Structure 1
Amino acid sequence: MTNMTAKSQSTSRIVIGLICAVAAIALVAGTWFVAQYFQSPAQREASAEPPPPGPVVVAVKRGDLLENTTTMARAVKEEAAAIAIPLGAETEIVTGLGTRIGDSLAPGAVVTWVNGRPIFAIVGAFPLYRNLVLGDSGPDMEMLQEALNGLGCDIAVDGSFGGATAACVTSLYRNVASEPSMRTVETAPEASASVAGAADLVQPIPPKQEIQIRSADFLVFPSLPKQVVSVPPIGTKLSTENAKVDVAGLGISLEAEVPGSVASGLSVGMTAEATGEGEVFPVRILAINPVTGEDSSDADSTQASQAPSVVVVFEPVGGQLPEAWAGQQVLVTLNLSEPITDTLLVPQRAVAAGSDGRTSVLVQTSGGGFEQVAVEELGCTQGMCAIEGAGLEEGSLVRVDR
């Protein structure tokens, strides 16, 4: 009886073990089956075949195309400077006061009166070096035209002395109850027609008066306004020693040392923005000067192959920089090229040039295809281009993988 019971218990354990094994196999198989037919979105995406390659497009944007760089500049108080009054061959006597000590000297103001003639203050890069007559042209004429436009004239800055420039100069003198200098121009006589075989009669033509611009009538300053520190008093006989006007800056200028790699792209007159203490002011380059005190003999071969650093001087545009900036470091953002504002922008890779030199972009149509649209490339920088073209607008999709 005991042996029968033991055998029965052993058989029961075997059966239970087989049942558990079968159940385990069924559970694994069921889990695998469920996993094959019930997958998460991430699992299905991971196991999906990659889509066939298609065109890559980007949307056209509207904005400004800027090429900027930044540098730190030191704000310094402008120092006094002496500006020489041009002297002619004749005796020069101060006959009237144009400005007084302490006055603010603005462009177009009369600095002083010499021999009864006004001496005007203008802004320029160099003194006028000759008298100018109608028909003359050159950089001095171009500089004067720019200065005259700054005084309210509207003339072409073409470097040629024509009628419009003459009218503007005449108005400048008459505004201070004076007249421009004139010169006498001799005219060749004309022969009249012969009468009944008589000898030709020569008819004299009277000389005519023609405007000229005297270089001695214009005192050129690198920038204005300035404060008058000293000016020769009435009655002074001018000489090389006393023919000068001492002026001091009215505000703050900025000086920044920039590396040669950046300096090569800078020029006088280039615009920038100065940021300090949360305020932003427009400035422009007044001068670009070499760095003094450098010992080039100590430079290694790599440095010697690079362009030398320069000191860039900035002046404010249309106002003054805060006095509180004096001695402080401020951030200057330079426009390395003329900004193109409110324009359509696309990646440079979207613009293609044909064999005829014309440029175009591929614009996606509503049906998914592409249409070639001719565009004008206004400028490119840092991988972006400013363009314009008929039928192209903000939000259009252009192809960049061709």
Structure 2
Amino acid sequence: MKFTYRFIVVIAVLFVTVGTVAAASLFTSTEQKAAEASPPARSDVTVTVESGSIKDTVPLTCETVYRSTTALKASGAPPLVLTRTTVKDGEELTDGSLLAEINGRPLFALIGDFPLYRSLAKGDKGPDAVMVNAALVRLELMAPPAPDVAAVLHQDAVDSVAELYRRAGYEPPAKGKPVVSATDFLVVPKGATVAGAPRTPGSLTGPFATVAMGGAVVECSGVNGKLPTEAKSGQKATTSLSGSGEWPVTVVAAAQEQTTPLGSSSTGGQPGPGAGGAANGTNPSAGGQAGSPADAATAGSGRLQLAATSVGKVGQRGTGTLVLGSSAPDQLVVPSAALWSKDSRTVVTVLEGDARRDVPVEIVYSADGRNAVKAVEPSGLRRGDQVLVSEPGA
């Protein structure tokens, strides 16, 4: 009996509670129902007015490369066969360096300013003899010649050349043969360094090695590997490969490997000591001297060379930024989302506590969604002001 009574009481209490809740819902006001159905009020979103300069930029991919390169090619009548490889990547060439063995004969390096334009015999006189004598003196194979024989291939020079052959493991030129053969000596510029692995032994129909001059330089292209169409010589760029700062750039044509032998003419003729260009190994593309920047930019195959003074070793890769233009320094900077149009004027809305005011501004430079502006009215906008980037009244 007691159990039945308690059960009836619990049921009654539940019935009353449910009924009370249902009744309360029937008496909720219309305003209350609307408020409960509406989303919460939006908060104002603001940004701080900054001071500085904005830039219009293009991303770059960069690498450190040799400033200029040129090919080494043997001269002489075909067939030409590379019978031994003697230089290695990164080797700096000096007077007497054994560049290669061609058809079983040595090919020595001479440091000079122009190619050999003839083979030299004892007693020959001229600027080429001066160059050979100077190289032999630097090699410490002979003492500096007296002034009256400085331009003559005299007996001391003949003996010194013979010693150079013997030290390299070759028989000196036979009697009746040229002392300095144009096929056994190749003139290279001072500071020339072997760039890349040389050819392996075999038939030669082109260069057997490539050399670089002038040290390393930073070269860049667009992220797609092509020259940005906006690129022009005289612009500036930054790169992670040359420390901080902006560097002037030069548009250079795509590198072209030369097949003209360094230190001799391509036809086997006798160019004089004044012959320049490809004959002495000068790469026409070095330093942006080949073609016009416009041609390179149109083709999309050129490169940007930075005039950076702090460059690491060759082969490093990094990123960069080409600066197409920039605003003046110390400008007031706001994002594009802070600009509104009101009464045919461009304005920003400044929040000051609970108050807000619309400030007319003039856009002086825009790039990448940021704007350098100046207030139309004096002191209308200052660095540090908070401006709306959500629509006023939203």
TM-score, length-scaled by structure 1: 0.40
Q: Which has the higher strand share?
A: 1
TM-score, length-scaled by structure 2: 0.41
